[in-house]
Structures are given as C-alpha cells and as structure tokens.
Amino acid sequence: MAGVTSVAVVDDDRMLLGGLRSWLAPAPGIDLVATAATVAELVELTGGGPPADVVLLDLRLKDGSEPAANIRRLRATGCRVLVISTVADRAGVIAAVAAGAAGYLTKDHDLETLVTAVEEVAAGGTAHSAELAFAWAHDSAPGRPALSPKEREVLLGYASGLTLKSTARRAGISPHTAKYYLDRVKDKYQRAGRPAYTKIDLASRVREDRLDEG
C-alpha cells in the first residue's frame, strides 16, 4: 500500500506484543503485519522473504540467540532493523549497529518517537536517539573514532559518492554545516592514526569500520 510502512515485531514478551498491536493500530502510515517470539519464527512465517519494511527487534530474547546474528539474519531477508531494549546498554548499542541495525531505542519512549524512528529507518536513514548518540560518543574500540550519528550520516552520504551539497540536502542541513561535520570526521580519523584526506580514503574507512552496514 502506497505511503504505508509495514512493521513486524520480534519480542518474547506477550504483554508487550499485545500492547504494541493496540498502540500502533491508530498510527497513520504504519501497518503492523506480523509478530513473533524469535527471529527464526518470523523468518519461517514469511518463507525467508522480507517480513516487513522494518522489524522491531528486542535485543535480548529468551531463546538465547545472539543479538548480532539475529540482526544479520533479518538484514539478509532485505528488511531494515530497529532494535528495541529495556536498557540503554552502550556495548549492546554499538554491537547492534555494527551488525546492521539502523537504530536503537529503549522501550520507555512514547508512540510519536517510535513512529518517527520507524519512518526514518524505512526511508533508509538511521533512527537517531539519545541512546545511540551516547553510545557512539563513547565508543572506545581501538582505532575507531567515536562518531556522532550526524557525523556518521554525513560521512556515509559523502563517501557514497554524493557531492557535499547533495549530502547536506539528504541530511537536512546546510552545506556549511555538512562541511563542519565532515572536517570533524577527518580530524577524528587523523587523531586515531588513520588519516582520511580524500573521498576515496573516507570510503575506505567506511568499509573498514563496516559503517555502511547500518
């Protein structure tokens, strides 16, 4: 259906699933098409194809499945993944995004925030949240600069081949601001001992740090 984002949810809390059905029902442009207790169950329901435009995935499931593996399995079907969790686990946030999640929200957010995040993820962007911003700002992986969500967004756009002006337009900021973020990215890579002077260098850093898998 044109203008409608299909959503599936993987969570083993039946009370939460029931609440989400009621919560999302009146949300314009959102269609909750499937729920499941595990990723395997959801994939089986859809025969291996994309279960929805966006899958809301609980970070920790009772079946003991590994979060990163769940994210990669869902991404392999062609859908995008928004992780939801009861806690803002910094290491969990970073690992989830590294595995391909396009955002991370704690379950205490309101409906408006959730719907906005789903729309951003469905449009191919990253759902910027306080949890994600905090995690990226404190990422201590050796040699990997701690990029803010907006720095990462500008880097991905520019390194993909877009002009600075087009990158700025996609990010909803001015070219001057986009250049400011890009200069910060270059400075951070320089200080990390991995200089990125050119667009080709930046594209290499994106691949090396798997930033394009979000």
Q: Does residue 128 contact residue 102 with C-beta atoms inside 8 Å?
A: no
Same fold, 5-137 and 149-213: no
Tokens of 158: 């520019």
5-137: CATH topology is: Rossmann fold (3.40.50)
Q: How confident is the model at residue 96, as a pLDDT?
A: 81
Average predicted confidence (pLDDT) for the chain:
85
Q: What pLDDT band is residue 186 in, cutting at 50, 70 and 90?
A: very high
User: For residue 172, with 0-12 CB atoms within 10 Å meaning exposed, 13-18 middle and 19 or more buried, which class applies?
Assistant: exposed
Residue 175 has pLDDT above 50, yes or no: yes
pLDDT tens-digit map of 94-109: 778 778 888 888 888 8
Q: How far apart are CA 210 and CA 127, in angstroms?
A: 18
Contact 119, 98 (CB under 8 A): no
- Which of 115, 142, 112, 117 is CA-nearest to residue 132? 117
How confident is the model over 59-69, as pLDDT tens digits?
889 888 999 89
Would the CA dihedral through 155, 66, 70, 7 be positive or negative?
negative
State the pLDDT confidence band at 213, using cuts at 50, 70 and 90: low
Exposed / middle / buried, residue 53 (Cβ in 10 Å: 0-12, 13-18, 19+): buried
Residue extents of the structural domains in the chain: 5-137, 149-213
pLDDT digits (tens, 9 = 90+) for 110-152: 888 888 889 888 888 777 677 666 666 556 566 678 788 889 8
CA-wise closest residue to 84 among 132, 119, 50, 138: 132
pLDDT number for residue 132 = 67
| Closest C-alpha among 89, 87, 92 to residue 71 | 92
> Of 102 and 164, which is predicted with more confidence?
164
CATH architecture of the region 149-213:
Orthogonal Bundle (1.10)
